Structure 1
Amino acid sequence: MLVQHHHAHIASAMAEHGLDGAARVIGVAFDGTGYGDDGTVWGGEILLAGYTGFRRLAHLAPAPLPGADAGVANPCRLALARLWAAGLPWDPDLPAVAACAPDELTLLEGQLKRDVACAPTSSMGRLFDAVSSLVGVCHRAGYEAQAALELEAAAASAWEAGTSAYAFGFARGVFDPAPVLGALVADLRRGTPAAVLAARFHRAVARAVAQACRRTRQNTGLATVALSGGVFANALLEEECARLLSEDGFAVLRHGEVPPNDGGLALGQLVVAAHLRQEE
């Protein structure tokens, strides 16, 4: 029996909190990689989910993932792919551009233009990697999630310095990071410290989550949100999402005993499969 990756993430959070599946939840599934029903790589998903099914309500705007695993190991390439998708130039003063050799830039540009080995992805994890390079924190990853972890650490060091945030675009179920990236580039050129940029980005993601959940509540009446997926191992982001949602009247399901990453995936797969089997 096949269970979709992000559906299993949300089901794992539901199961950890003892939900019987009688009511659906708003599921926020943010991770690095998980195949979607449309054949693309998902990872920035807002789902309407129960144990026996789910519906994709909103997602991060996709961008090319150049070279798949090779791209993941090189956050600077992910940053350039995100800039390219947003229609922003690769100016040489940007840290992510400066981190790439001229021949690497030429190869990557050709790859993106010809759509060669560039699977589209809506992954929030890959966006964190891209932003980490864009603000000059991490350009090459030597271990899993290095770029995102270092971006979180930078954001934490400036968290109390202010409460300003960037803003995603939102239309027709897609939250678009292009305005965020444009604002990041502008602030970078003003000399804003990387830690402040990182904090503003974290708050932007949290506010986009809250906005998407409010819209879903208006359309469905649901007021329970499950946060799952490896991106929510980021304590700063998870706490800010939970705070905004709770203040807005949502019940928030967060992982505690079960890990939010793929370590908790089997629990979600199990409960989904069990409920589907009962319906047969």
Structure 2
Amino acid sequence: MPRVLATGAYLKNAAGLWLDGAWLPSPDHGDLVTPQACRALEDSLERLLARAGHHLDGLAHDLHPDFHSTRLAQALAERLGLPALSVQHHLAHVGVVLAEQALAGTPVEGPVIGIVLDGYGRGADGGAWGGELLWVDGPHWLRVGHLAHLALPGGDRAAREPWRMASAALHALGRADEITRRHAGAVGIERAHGLRAMLERGLNCPPTSSAGRWFDAAAAALGLCWQQQHEAEAAQALEALATQHDDDGRLTGFEPDPRLAPATLRDGRIDLGPVVAELFDAWSDATQAPQRARLAHHFHLAMADGLAQAAARAAAQDGCDTVVLAGGCLFNRLLSQALHARLSLLGLRVLRPVAHSCGDAALALGQAWIARQRLAAGMTQGHAATPSLPVRSARPSPRFPEPQPCA
């Protein structure tokens, strides 16, 4: 049984040690943005190493090379002469659920499809992932789908200013001429005009598949939040509005409203553009409060339905029947319930974290679990900065039909 020390995530950091069939977590250190948090992580790693009797088989860390947690793992691995195993962020989220099942004595046999929804995680291609469908089988994994890309105008700044994501959605919809008119009153005409120029020229606008950024775009499209004062403020405002939707207007089984545009599927990409387009058309009319609540509610259900159908297709192709839900967006109760309901209706078994957080606070557990699978299979790659997890060569690439409604 490999002994693995994992250094956790960048935000909401906590480390942990997998030792002889038990998981020993460190205290929470908070975000690794202060010297105090970084020193606390260093101290925890030394204590966990001593707990293991200075005998480990490997260290696990996030795929991002610039995180303090990554650098600590690599430095400690070099000091001890051990492999440092990088684990992709969303793969680690799936690993949390699989580790929980094993620790409870009910290990999951065979492959699963993971739906992981959050704000950001460095992808295997170096991109900004955050709305992912992963096929996972022991140490093997493959990205089989994701939310359609939106531009991140201004890079990380876009995560703090939802109006930027709304502008990116307008640009993707071919409605860039509306950016200045819609946002100048909130951010100033020069900033709005400059952002439109940035999008049209593709300057500092990397793509992202982040579910969190789609929520930001939807919230700003309805005029709920222009700039965030705290994490997930826009998403929380959108969920709060969605819960105002009258029960009489809801359909059974968390089905999206058939009167509104659905998400669409193409080659494993779930596109919420048609859904967000209808939000833009309702945000400015104060007399349409019930309609805005209905649209916010529909956005949640359309996202859940699109993801569920994409996951069901991927599962059917591989013959598996289990879907794992993970990622910080599952703190959104409406989205979480809708995903579970839609997947169950499609005949799939649904697992999600129970004893641990669905967010980054538990990521070290998933890192350790995936690293253990690799070590047990003899798959060590030293200090590789990118994942080297092979997939089954006999597995064909997923094939999806032409674009069609998810309903």
**TM-score, normalised via structure 1 length:** 0.93
The residue identity in structure 1 corresponding to 2:90 is H
Within 5 Å, give how 1:218-229 maps onto structure 2: 218-229=316-327
Of 270, 273, 281, the match for 1:175? 270
Give me the whole-angstrom Cα distance separating, in 2, the residues matched to 1:104 and 1:10. Answer: 39
Shift of 1:188: 4.5
For 1:94 and 1:253, how far apart are their aligned partners in 2? 44
Could you tell me whether the CA contact under 8 Å between 2:170 and 2:178 is conserved in 1?
no
Shifted more, 210-219 versus 167-176: the winner is 210-219
Question: Is the 1:91–1:97 contact (alpha carbons within 8 Å) kept by the matching residues of 2?
Answer: no
Structure 1: how far apart are the matches of 2:246 and 2:134? Answer: 29
Q: Percent identity?
A: 36
Residue 39 (str. 1) matches residue 134 (str. 2)? no
SS of 2:96's partner is helix
Q: Distance in 1 between matches of 2:222 and 2:248?
A: 17
Structural mapping, 1:1-280, within 5 Å: 1-18=85-102, 20=107, 22-91=109-178, 96=183, 98-158=185-245, 160-163=247-250, 164=257, 166-188=261-283, 192-193=288-289, 194-280=292-378
Output one character per residue of 1:52-93: Cα deviation in whole Å (capped at 9) or x when no partner.
Answer: 021111111111111223211110111101221222244279
Q: Which amino acid aligns with 2:91?
A: H
Question: Does the CA contact (< 8 Å) of 2:223 and 2:284 recur in 1?
Answer: no
Inter-CA distance 238–95: structure 2 relative to 1 (3 Å threshold) = farther
Distance 1:48 1:111, change over 3 A: same
| TM-score between the two structures when normalised by the length of structure 2 | 0.65
Query: 1:227 deviation in Å?
Result: 0.5
Once superposed, which parts of structure 1, at least 4 consecutive aligned residues long, lie more than 3 Å away?
19-22, 92-98, 186-192
In the alignment of these two chains, the number of paired residues is 280
Task: Please identify the structure whose Cα radius of gyration is greater.
Answer: 2
Any stretches of 5+ residues in structure 1 without a counterpart? none
Say if 1:203 and 1:240, in contact at 8 Å, map to a contact too.
yes
User: Over aligned residues, Cα RMSD in angstroms?
Assistant: 2.0
Question: Larger deviation: 157-166 or 46-55?
Answer: 157-166
Assess if the C-alpha contact under 8 Å between 2:164 and 2:195 holds in 1: yes
The answer on whether the counterparts of 1:11 and 1:50 sit within 8 Å (CA) in structure 2 is: no
Cα distance between partner residues in 2 of 1:199 and 1:95: 22
SS at 1:26's partner residue? Answer: strand
Deviation at residue 249 of structure 1 after TM alignment = 1.4
More helix by share: 1
Question: Could you give the per-residue CA deviations for residues 116-174 of structure 1, whole angstroms, max 9, x where no partner exists?
Answer: 22121010111001101101111110001110111111111216242326411111111
Instruction: State the distance in 2 between where 1:159 and 1:274 align.
Output: 48
3-state SS in 2 of match to 1:91: helix
